[in-house]
């Protein structure tokens, strides 16, 4: 079997209402999608934060055996493809092909699923330009609790006053039973991160995500020691070696590789092994189209419970609740959270069919 053609799609979905994390206002959702076509009539789909460029595809992918995913990964990297996010898209598409060729879901190729339904956390609660942002956050959080999510995550990093007031409002809205994570998107320095952490601690924070720049590994360790709170991060790191210091630095409890940023299935499994050896839990980051959603479900299904006991911490799936037709409509049969759980697709490969009309509509 050989790869005969690769198509790329730069997707852009403009938002009806922009929202902000601590660093940027998001006005559109974007993704790089690749379609890899083979001479066996099997086609694979992958997604990266970026798309590979055409010349590199023609020079290094056409004519290769698609079942050589790990070999192709190393070759692309060695060829100077510094953009691991683009390699991620290729790798996911190759695993999709491998599953379709063997008529089995990707999670089975990876050794089988520890769970077929994954409990999800509602990931949303961004800052928006509204007259009563705190009230709107409380209403949004209450809706997630009512929908049956066992956990929610909100954005902080907008200043101590904003964080303290809105975290208290969201905890009040969801009640005492739901797990509650906060995410500062690397928006603070060490001192502010510790101050904020102390002030929100009485809202029973399950994890504190990316309080500071991810490269500041000793800063993470300082925050973790000062707060005694679970610290999480790593969604923008690319390639397993980029995770090494963070995972070994005793600064995080939960590492969050994104399959479309860190390097696809091939690379994320290496990160997972490193995390396991260092006592760090893996909860993947997910922020993308139906393709990334499906790929993340397959990978997360294969990650063992942590700790491997009768009473593990929950393997929580990041379910993005914000407006994005690329996530809700790109797969002909959408992947949904029902009663706070998401089902792992059971079809061959990634187990999704792509809506080509939607793909063309949002291709730039
Ligand atoms: Mg995050």
Neighbours of 78 (CB within 10 A): 9
Question: For the segment 263-308, what is each residue's pLDDT rounded down to a tens digit?
Answer: 999 999 999 999 999 999 999 999 999 999 999 999 999 999 999 9
Ligand 1 centroid–CA 284 distance in Å is 10
Domain's final residue, options 81, 104, 127: 104
Residue range 225-233: average pLDDT?
A: 98
Question: For the segment 68-93, what is each residue's pLDDT rounded down to a tens digit?
Answer: 999 999 999 998 776 899 999 999 99
Instruction: Report pLDDT for 58.
Output: 81
Ligand 1 centroid–CA 209 distance in Å is 6
- 28 and 142 both lie in a single domain: no
Cα separations in angstroms, 15 against 9, 45, 236: 19, 24, 22
55 — pLDDT class (breaks 50, 70, 90): confident
Q: Would 42 be classed as within a structural domain?
A: yes
Instruction: Report pLDDT for 26.
Output: 97
Instruction: Report pLDDT for 364.
Output: 85
Ligand 1 centroid–CA 305 distance in Å is 22
Question: For the segment 158-205, what is each residue's pLDDT rounded down to a tens digit?
Answer: 999 999 999 999 999 999 999 999 999 999 999 999 999 999 999 999
Q: Would 269 be classed as within a structural domain?
A: yes
Active site residue 298: no
Ligand 1 centroid–CA 3 distance in Å is 35
Instruction: Report pLDDT for 333.
Output: 96
Residue 299 and residue 43 in contact, taking contact as beta carbons nearer than 8 Å: no
Instruction: Report pLDDT for 80.
Output: 79
Average pLDDT over the chain, rounded to whole? 97
Q: Would 358 be classed as within a structural domain?
A: no
Ligand 1 centroid–CA 22 distance in Å is 10
Ligand 1 centroid–CA 78 distance in Å is 29
Strands 254-255 and 231-233: parallel
Q: In the chain, pLDDT over 70 holds for what percent of residues?
A: 100
Ligand 1 centroid–CA 29 distance in Å is 16
Q: What is the number of structural domains in the chain?
A: 2
Range of the domain at 210: 108-343
Q: Compute φ and ψ for 95, nearest 5 degrees.
A: -70, -35
- 127 and 218 both lie in a single domain: yes
Dist. CA 196–CA 164, nearest whole Å: 7
Query: Which CATH number belongs to the domain containing residue 82 in this structure?
Result: 3.30.390.10
Q: Would 348 be classed as within a structural domain?
A: no
Q: SS3 sequence, 175-223?
A: CCCCEEEEECCCCCCHHHHHHHHHHHHHHCCCEEECCCCCCCHHHHHHH
Residue 324 and residue 19 in contact, taking contact as beta carbons nearer than 8 Å: no
- 40 and 78 both lie in a single domain: yes
Q: Is 294 helix (H, G, I), strand (E, B) or coil?
A: helix
Instruction: Report pLDDT for 323.
Output: 96
Q: Would 287 be classed as within a structural domain?
A: yes
Instruction: Report pLDDT for 285.
Output: 98
Query: Which CATH number belongs to the domain containing residue 164 in this structure?
Result: 3.20.20.120
- 179 and 284 both lie in a single domain: yes
Residue range 352-358: average pLDDT?
A: 98
Predicted TM-score of the model (pTM): 0.97
57 — pLDDT class (breaks 50, 70, 90): confident
Catalytic residue among 60, 116, 240, 285: 285
Q: Would 360 be classed as within a structural domain?
A: no
- 64 and 94 both lie in a single domain: yes
Q: 125: which 2 tokens?
A: 């609660």
18 — pLDDT class (breaks 50, 70, 90): very high
Q: Which residue has the tokens 């187990």?
A: 351
Ligand 1 centroid–CA 21 distance in Å is 9
- Is the bond leading into 230 cis (omega within 30 degrees of zero)? no
**303 CB-near residues (< 8 Å, 6+ apart):** 114, 272, 282, 315
Domain's final residue, options 104, 124, 142: 104
- 238 and 180 both lie in a single domain: yes
Q: Residue 241 carries which DSSP code?
A: G
Closest CA to 186 of 146, 234, 227: 234
């Amino acid at each position: 079997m050989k790869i005969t053609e690769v198509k790329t799609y730069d997707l852009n979905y403009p938002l009806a209402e922009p929202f902000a994390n601590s660093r940027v206002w998001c006005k559109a959702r974007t993704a790089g999608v690749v379609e890899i076509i083979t001479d066996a009539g099997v086609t694979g789909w992958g997604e990266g934060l970026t798309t590979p460029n055409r010349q590199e595809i023609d020079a290094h992918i056409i004519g290769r055996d698609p079942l050589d995913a790990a070999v192709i990964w190393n070759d692309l990297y060695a060829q100077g493809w510094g953009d691991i996010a683009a390699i991620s898209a290729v790798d996911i598409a190759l695993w999709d092909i491998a599953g379709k060729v063997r008529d089995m879901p990707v999670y089975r190729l990876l050794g089988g699923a520890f769970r077929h339904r994954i409990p999800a956390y509602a990931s949303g609660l961004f800052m928006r330009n509204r007259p009563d942002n705190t009230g709107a956050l409380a209403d949004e959080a209450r809706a997630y609790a009512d929908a049956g999510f066992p956990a929610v995550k909100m954005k902080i990093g907008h200043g101590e006053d904003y964080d303290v007031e809105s975290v208290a409002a969201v905890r009040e809205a969801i009640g005492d039973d739901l797990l509650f994570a906060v995410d500062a998107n690397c928006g603070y320095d060490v001192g502010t991160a510790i101050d904020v952490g102390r002030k929100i601690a009485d809202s029973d924070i399950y994890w504190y995500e990316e309080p500071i720049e991810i490269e500041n590994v000793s800063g993470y360790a300082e925050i973790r020691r000062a707060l005694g709170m679970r610290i999480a991060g790593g969604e923008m790191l690319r390639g397993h070696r980029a995770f090494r210091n963070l995972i070994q630095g005793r600064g995080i409890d939960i590492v969050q590789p994104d399959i479309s940023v860190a390097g696809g299935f091939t690379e994320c499994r290496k990160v997972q092994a490193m995390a396991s050896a260092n006592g760090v839990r893996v909860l993947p980051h997910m922020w993308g189209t139906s393709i990334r959603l499906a790929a993340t479900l397959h990978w997360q299904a294969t990650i063992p419970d942590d700790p491997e006991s009768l009473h593990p911490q929950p393997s929580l799936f990041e379910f993005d609740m914000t407006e994005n037709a690329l996530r809700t409509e790109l797969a002909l049969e959408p992947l949904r959270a029902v009663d706070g759980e998401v089902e792992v697709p059971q079809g061959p490969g990634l187990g999704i069919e792509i809506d080509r009309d939607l793909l063309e509509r949002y291709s730039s």
